[in-house]
Amino acid sequence: MNVEQEIRLRLTRRQLLGRASVGIGTAALASLLNPGLATAKPQAAFLNFAPKAKRVIYMFMSGGPSHIDLFDHKPALRKFHGTELPESIRNGQRITGMTSGQKSFPCVAPMFKFAQHGKSGTWLSELLPHTAGIVDDIALVKSVNTEAINHDPAITFINTGSQQPGRPSIGSWLSYGLGSENQNLPAFIVMISQGSGNKTDQPLFSRLWGSGFIPTQHQGVRFRSGGDPVLYLSNPPGVLPDNRRQMLDAVGRLNQMAEQTVGDPEIDTRIAQYEMAFRMQTSVPEVSDLSGESKATLAMYGLDENGNGSQYARNCLLARRLSERGVRFIQLFHRGWDQHGSLPEQLPKQCQDVDQPSAALVKDLKARGLLDDTLIVWGGEFGRTVYSQGALTATNYGRDHHGRCFSTWMAGGGIKPGITYGETDDFCYNIVKDPVHIHDFNATVLHTLGIEHTKLTYRFQGRDFRLTDVHGDVVKGLLS
């Protein structure tokens, strides 16, 4: 076979897959959601390890849950309660404009009890009784840290690797690198729920699941409650599946005729996309329909027998259903974790929202054998200060943003279960052992998926960009 013939053959194959597939990672080749890429990336050089995880469910707690009141147990803090935070601890740390004018920075010990759980003896707050039941399956990381001290930069940083807007989100990186395992569902799905703690909650931004400078088909697709789960999924009123099928057949035939005249392989891709759209009209409602779930399963998530209950609980169950169908990256955003004041009143409500469903998701995946190849992440954009924002009273206190350390837990594919990683000082203020910067954290997430984070790059403006910028070390101590 001569060279030209070989090229022709390759091109024909490529056309069959949609011209699109030029140059993406081989794993993504099969995904019809991933056509249209035109960057030259000859081989998936970033796939350096056998992946432990095939997909990710990321339960993002927007606002900054208090690590002090939930995870980072410090009995010694009790004796500093109500006393000024020593300057040797704060050590010139910049603080937000919300507390920088405070005259006093009194330390606050949590008003909640802590106890040890499971074989691992992991300490947890009484606000998380269901999470207490899965401690032997999770790795609790107490030493995550970020430079950002305000919501916008912090949540943008942890989700995109940069405090300033413009970069692709972690989910879009994975969609770009790995594609989807399911041809009828998007590779990256986002679900949002409101918390019941802080109602004047922090906003979210579409950039948190946006694709920045990488092609837009990698951006997260919002799965929404009420109406169409995916935008414009349903036929217009009065259009039955038959009407749609007839119309699509006509469009398909006419497009084929055009392809024969014009010879543009992009037309074939478009034909395939319309067929995929038609299939999504079935596959998406099917995945959102909880009627096939057993009563026991529904109850485990805290849903009633009709599948009704809190949005977060529904989202957790949907996350399991989506992960079963091979959706690569599922991100839940639960809001309301910004406890500047009234923490003792708000935090229990937030925990009530998420504790049972989050734990149920881990248990459910484990029972179905999916936990081994699904990475679970639970955490927010930063932690909270040990000192009180506003006056500390016998029953009330608030906490400002704190980036120097915060707690996050992981579970499943590639993660060592039943461990606590990293340590902070007696004030939950500084890390004293095993820091995990959010770049390290993201590098570790990619690692569990078999991706070498320094090699998953996209060239933009002459530079090969990465999720982890020029930083990040895989945290070996977290790996199974």
Partner 1 sequence: MQQRFGNRLFAIAVVVLMVGGLPSYAANRPSIDYNRDIRPILSENCFACHGPDANKRKAGLRLDVREGAIKPLKSGETAVVPGDAGHSAMLARILSDDADEHMPPEETGKKVTAAQAELLRRWVQEGAVWKGLWSLEAPKRPELPEVTNSTWQKNAIDRFVLERLEKEGLNPSPEADRPTLIRRLSLDLTGLPPTTAEVDAFTKDASPDAYEKVVDHFLASPHYGERMALEWLDAARFADTHGYHIDSGRDMTRWRDWVIHAFNKNTPFDVFTVEQLAGDLLPNPTLEQKIASGFHRNNMVNFEGGAVPEEYLTAYNVDRVNTTGAVWLGLTVGCTQCHDHKYDPISQKDFYQLYAFFNGVAEKGLDGSRGNAAPVMSVGTLAQNQEITKLTSAIDDIEKQLVAANTSWDAAQLTWEKEQTNRPDAGHVQWIAAEPREIKSSGGAKLDVLGDKSIAVTGPNPAQDTYTAMVLSPVVGISGMQLVVLPDEALKAKGPGRSENGNLVLTEVHIGYASINDPSKVKPIKIKSAQADFSQDNFPASNAIDGNPQTGWAIFPAVGQAHTIAFELEKQIESPGGALLNVTLEFKSQFSNHSAGRFRISATSDKFPLGQTRVPANVAGLLRLPNESRSDKNKAEIRTWFRTNLMPEYKSLRDQSDKLKKQLAVANANLPSTMVMQDLAKPRDTFILMRGQYDKPGEKVTPNTPACLPPMAAGAPKNRLGLARWLVDPGHPLTARVIVNRYWQMYFGTGLVKTAEDFGTQGEYPTHPELLDWLATEFIASHWDVKGMQKRIVMSATYRQASHATPELIVKDPEDRLLARAPRFRLQAEFLRDQALAVSGLLNREIGGKSVSPYQPPGLWEELMSRSDGANFTAQSYVQSHGPDLYRRGMYTFWKRTSPPASLTTFDAPDREVCTVRRGRTNTPLQALALMNDPTYVEAARKLAERAMTEGGATAEERIAYVYRIVLARSPRPQELAVLRNVFDQEWSGYRRNAEGALKLISVGESARNEKLDASEHAAWTMVCSAILNLDETVTKN
Binding residues for partner 1 restricted to 130-149, rule: CB under 8 A: 149
Task: Kindly tell me which of 16 and 45 has the beta carbon lying closer to partner 1.
Answer: 45
Task: Kindly tell me which of 199 and 433 has the beta carbon lying closer to partner 1.
Answer: 199
Task: Kindly tell me which of 24 and 85 has the beta carbon lying closer to partner 1.
Answer: 24
Can you tell me which of 93, 120, 196, 255 binds partner 1, judged by CB under 8 A? 255
Task: Characterize 436-451 residue by residue with b for buried, 16 or more Cβ atoms within 10 angstroms of its Cβ, and e for exposed.
Answer: bbbbbbbbbbbbbbbb
9 binds partner 1 (CB under 8 A): no
Task: Kindly tell me which of 122 and 346 has the beta carbon lying closer to partner 1.
Answer: 346
400 binds partner 1 (CB under 8 A): yes
Q: Considering only residues 82 through 101, tell me which ones interact with partner 1, judged by CB under 8 A.
A: 94, 96-99
Question: DSSP for 158-176?
Answer: HHHS-SSS-SPPHHHHHHH
Q: Considering only residues 421 through 460, tell me which ones interact with partner 1, judged by CB under 8 A.
A: 454-455, 459
Q: What is the rounded distance in angstroms from the CA atom of residue 381 to the CA atom of residue 413?
A: 22
Q: Report the candidate in 361, 331, 378 with the shortest Cα–Cα distance to residue 222.
A: 331
Helices (H), 368-473: 438-448
The radius of gyration computed from the CA coordinates of the chain, to the nearest angstrom, equals 24
Task: Kindly tell me which of 53 and 192 has the beta carbon lying closer to partner 1.
Answer: 192
Using DSSP bridges, classify how beta strands 423-424 and 431-433 pair: parallel, antiparallel or unpaired: antiparallel
Q: Considering only residues 41 through 80, tell me which ones interact with partner 1, judged by CB under 8 A.
A: 42, 45
Q: If residue 437 lies in a helix (H) or strand (E), which one and from where to where? A: strand 436-437
Task: Characterize 391-406 residue by residue with b for buried, 16 or more Cβ atoms within 10 angstroms of its Cβ, and e for exposed.
Answer: ebeeeebbbbbbbbbb
Can you tell me which of 20, 415, 445, 475 binds partner 1, judged by CB under 8 A? 20
286 binds partner 1 (CB under 8 A): no
CB of 274 to partner 1, least distance (A): 5
Q: Considering only residues 216 through 245, tell me which ones interact with partner 1, judged by CB under 8 A.
A: 216-217, 219, 221-222, 224, 226-228, 230-240, 242-244
CB of 456 to partner 1, least distance (A): 10
Q: Considering only residues 166 through 205, tell me which ones interact with partner 1, judged by CB under 8 A.
A: 166, 186, 192, 194, 199-205
Region of 132-140, 271-279, 297-305, 316-324 interacting with partner 1 (CB under 8 A): 271-279
Distance of CA 188 to the CA centre of its chain: 10
Q: Considering only residues 29 through 48, tell me which ones interact with partner 1, judged by CB under 8 A.
A: 32-33, 35-36, 38, 40, 42, 45
Largest Cα–Cα separation, the chain: 85
The structure tokens listed for 28 are 């993504």
Amino acid making up residue 443: A
Q: What is the rounded distance in angstroms from the CA atom of residue 301 to the CA atom of residue 286?
A: 19
Task: Kindly tell me which of 261 and 294 has the beta carbon lying closer to partner 1.
Answer: 261
